[in-house]
Structure 1
Amino acid sequence: MNRSSQVLLIKCVTFILIVGIGVWLRFYFIDWNKEDFFQQMQVRLAGDEVGYDLAARQLIEKGIYGYAPYAYSTEPNAFTTPGYPLFLAACYLIFGYGVEPPIKEIQLTQLVMDAVTGIFLYLISLKLLRSFPISCILLILYYLHPSFILAPSYLLTETLYGAFFLLFVLLLVRYLDNDLPTKLQSLTLGLIFGVVVLIRPAIVPFLGLFLTCLIVFFVKKRVVLQSGLLILTGFITIMLPWWIRNLFILHKWVWLAEQAGNPLLWGTFPYNENPPIDVSNDPAVMKRMAMERIKEGFQNEPLLYMKWYTVGKIWILLKDIYSGFLGIHNLILIRLHRIIVIMGLLSWLLSLFVEWKNDRRIVWVGILIGISILVYLPFAPTSRYFYPVVPLSLLGVGWLIRRCSFSIIRLKKHNT
């Protein structure tokens, strides 16, 4: 066996070992034969899990799609986009369900998704950083992070969204690798972005910015215009059934979802985790109340509200580890999480200046991170919203390691 074959074998064994440990960790925490604290927490549905479960049941049993927190919706609505309820409904039909949903089967499905998401991160890192050791380090950090170990245990959007979000990032990086992306690349990029938006719609502004910059700044206008139209076609193909459904069933245009009023109102109470809000209010009413509170807040207490809607909410988004309803209270883990995330985000800011003219892939991933944070600042801050940004923060850490390695190598060569 020659040296190149040995190196390839070592890389394959290392990669398989890391993935195997990551999968084992996830299996460990959803082992139904264990009667420990983790197991007791996993068998309960709480919070948004209840709404998603009931939405899936209603869709299957009555053919009605509607979402109402903690209850059946009495009529069709567009309170949330249908991505995750459709996923749950498919799982219920495949695995069967009774009084209880097929929790174990859904957990196992989401476990596989999360393991594959880690591989997406590894592939993105290889593309951007071109370093097998650094990519393995990032994969290890992903598989060891409590958020990604525990999230598959819950009937929430995080695992599904995280998988398609990183798949989109991977396709975006590959798309930007080529001066002349293929038609299939363009169409697929739009299709996957549509799926991402159907699961969580907040990221939709990225598409408008990307297509605008694509057309304005790229030289080969005809090719770029064709590519942009194909991306838009893919996105519309996914979203069109949702738009048509809303028009014919609800008799109005609903482009994304109507739930924004609820989290928007919750986000108008600076540093108050339990504001006096009646969650049964109509989302449109809550939106009007929110806009009034925001206007009054910036008029009467401008400094407080300015801080709250910038650094205040950003700190709350990143300071805690998201882990479903289990909660992580280990101070060491929380501090490590904060160090990694802050280091990663600062590294991305630095990379935007360093790589501005050299690597448009890094620039666009950095812009995606910024939009993924900014779109949530008007709403109630919760670590759930920051969940998909954590893997991209890890990429920032990887970029910093790579730059520092190059600097050390250059310094050694200079000294010798």
Structure 2
Amino acid sequence: MTPDISAAQQPRNHRIILWVLIGLTLLGLASRLYLAWGTNQTLPDTPARLRGDESGYEGLAYWLLNGHFFEWPGRTPIYPFFVAACYAIFGRSPASVVYVQAFLGTTIIPLTFILARRFTGAQSSLVAAGLVVLHPSLIFHVSRVQTEVLYAPLILLTVLGLLRALEQPQWQNFSLAGALLAITNLCRPTAMLLPAIVPLLMPRQWHLKRKVALFLAYLGAIIIITAPWTYHNYRTHKTFLLYSVSTALLWQGSPEFYHLAYEQLPKRHIVQIWQEELNPARNGGHDPFTIEGDRYFTKRAIASILREPAVYLWYCLQKAVFFWLGNPISDWPDHAMFNVEAMRSVFSPQRIVGILASRILPVFAALGMIVLRHRWREFLPLLLVCGYFTVIHALTYAEVRYSEPLHPILAVVIATAAGELQRRLKLISQ
């Protein structure tokens, strides 16, 4: 009797794939540790190195260790807890946070492989993992004391949890998926309305009672995990605040902001607009990081949208593009998208190549979905997740860093499409 050679080779192939994945993960870790080392060589190991939102996160972490539990409504707790944990171990050292983030950022490599295996073979899944190994923007997240480096793996875990729940529809799996989403929202609350897409993903053949029961298990886990934080906000600020203030996010997506940022001359960077229009010392005392200030700017935004709905719609369409390719007022020098000459005055040649490579990835993913159009139902969960974030930021405010945690999902689409094209070429050549 002839032995089954393919069956005998299977464990060996699995070992090879595992070792390649380990090698890719170590390569990704090495690149991130190298960036962390280079960043720490050029900046002081003090809070003076921090810029923009970094100071807020670092300050919350420092005050946590000094007995002040989130007395400011401007941020959600997960990432400050992470920074505080680093400080508890290493002292008040932003450099140590960056090194720890190198390890944290590396987790997206095996997670991307695991996600890709649900849609394609092992070799294409390794390609997907490889795309995030040296992804310039995902590596750069390591150097900043901001949520992206933690949010990216949390988004992947949330998507994996949802896919497992849909494939194995038990209340325990839906509860786990809801718990993962709740933790993700406590890191950054953008996905707070994501449960709205879950009923759309449930198969039609499921009985209505089953759908309702599983969805309630999903929502129940979200509520249980979120409720203590919401109660803390109510006890501290004497008002209902689910996660945190939006920091004038809707106003930055309104026609009033559009005229100010994109039509008035001279054109200004987003930092200048914050220093002038959103500065309480200049706008009559309305601080967007407070509950009162956030509500003030939200009312202004709604009034602006109602006055000029056509301008708002046009701006929303632009923001859907800005979300993936970069916002001219924050992500591109001199408001010039994909202008290499303008970039040369700000970035090194290596950084320019990295930026362009990162921001062209969504284009390749879109082309990949054209290749995979016959499998669109299979990819519907990924499409709806990406579409959800696009719509949310198109309605509010868009920067490319908000879309970068979704790039591992794009890598899965690209790698699957590449594998599909390879399979078709083999069939043609035979």
Would the aligned equivalents of 2:45 and 2:94 in 1 still touch at CA under 8 Å? no
Tell me the amino acid that sits aligned with residue 89 of structure 2.
I
- Residue 17 in structure 1 maps to residue 4 in structure 2: no
* 1:407 alignment partner in structure 2: 424
- Residue 267 in structure 1 maps to residue 253 in structure 2: yes
Q: After the TM superposition, which of the residue ranges 283-292 and 272-281 deviates more from structure 2?
A: 272-281
* 1:288 alignment partner in structure 2: 299
C-alpha distance in 2 between matches for 1:82 and 1:327: 33
C-alpha distance in 1 between matches for 2:322 and 2:39: 36
Would the aligned equivalents of 1:320 and 1:334 in 2 still touch at CA under 8 Å? no
- Residue 188 in structure 1 maps to residue 176 in structure 2: yes
Shift in Å, 1:373 = 1.3
C-alpha distance in 2 between matches for 1:404 and 1:350: 8
Would the aligned equivalents of 1:317 and 1:385 in 2 still touch at CA under 8 Å? yes
Would the aligned equivalents of 1:266 and 1:379 in 2 still touch at CA under 8 Å? yes
C-alpha distance in 2 between matches for 1:201 and 1:63: 22
* 1:72 alignment partner in structure 2: none
* 2:290 alignment partner in structure 1: none
SS at match of 1:123: helix
C-alpha distance in 2 between matches for 1:79 and 1:113: 24
C-alpha distance in 2 between matches for 1:42 and 1:122: 36
- Residue 83 in structure 1 maps to residue 78 in structure 2: yes
**C-alpha distance 89-349 of structure 1, shift in aligned 2 (>3 A):** farther
C-alpha distance in 2 between matches for 1:319 and 1:328: 20
1:56 maps to which of 32, 49, 61 = 61
Give TM-score scaled by structure 1 length: 0.82
What residue ranges of structure 1 are gaps of 5+ in the alignment?
66-75
SS at match of 1:375: helix
Shift in Å, 1:372 = 1.3
* 2:390 alignment partner in structure 1: 373
Report the identity percentage: 20
Tell me the amino acid that sits aligned with residue 301 of structure 2.
A
* 1:199 alignment partner in structure 2: 187
**C-alpha distance 409-229 of structure 1, shift in aligned 2 (>3 A):** same
SS at match of 2:244: coil
C-alpha distance in 1 between matches for 2:421 and 2:202: 35
- Residue 307 in structure 1 maps to residue 307 in structure 2: no
C-alpha distance in 2 between matches for 1:263 and 1:350: 36
* 1:29 alignment partner in structure 2: 35
Shift in Å, 1:234 = 1.4
Q: How many correspondences in the alignment?
A: 382
**C-alpha distance 42-80 of structure 1, shift in aligned 2 (>3 A):** closer
Shift in Å, 1:349 = 6.6
C-alpha distance in 1 between matches for 2:85 and 2:28: 26
- Residue 165 in structure 1 maps to residue 161 in structure 2: no
**C-alpha distance 57-120 of structure 1, shift in aligned 2 (>3 A):** same
C-alpha distance in 2 between matches for 1:162 and 1:82: 16
What residue ranges of structure 2 are gaps of 5+ in the alignment?
263-267, 281-285, 287-292, 332-345
Q: After the TM superposition, which of the residue ranges 287-296 and 230-239 deviates more from structure 2?
A: 287-296
SS at match of 1:253: coil
* 2:116 alignment partner in structure 1: 125
Would the aligned equivalents of 1:265 and 1:286 in 2 still touch at CA under 8 Å? yes
Shift in Å, 1:32 = 6.3
Would the aligned equivalents of 2:39 and 2:143 in 1 still touch at CA under 8 Å? no
Shift in Å, 1:384 = 1.5
C-alpha distance in 1 between matches for 2:408 and 2:102: 16
Structure ranking higher on relative contact order (CA contacts 8 Å, 6+ apart): 2
Structure 1, residues 3-46: CA drift from partner, whole Å, max 9, x if none?
Answer: 334323322322222111111111111126974x5889998111
C-alpha distance in 2 between matches for 1:33 and 1:81: 26
**C-alpha distance 334-134 of structure 1, shift in aligned 2 (>3 A):** same
- Residue 354 in structure 1 maps to residue 374 in structure 2: yes
Tell me the amino acid that sits aligned with residue 187 of structure 2.
I
- Residue 340 in structure 1 maps to residue 361 in structure 2: yes
* 2:126 alignment partner in structure 1: 136
**C-alpha distance 241-144 of structure 1, shift in aligned 2 (>3 A):** same
C-alpha distance in 1 between matches for 2:89 and 2:160: 29
SS at match of 1:259: coil
Would the aligned equivalents of 2:46 and 2:94 in 1 still touch at CA under 8 Å? no
RMSD: 3.0
- Residue 382 in structure 1 maps to residue 377 in structure 2: no
C-alpha distance in 1 between matches for 2:210 and 2:249: 41
Give TM-score scaled by structure 2 length: 0.80
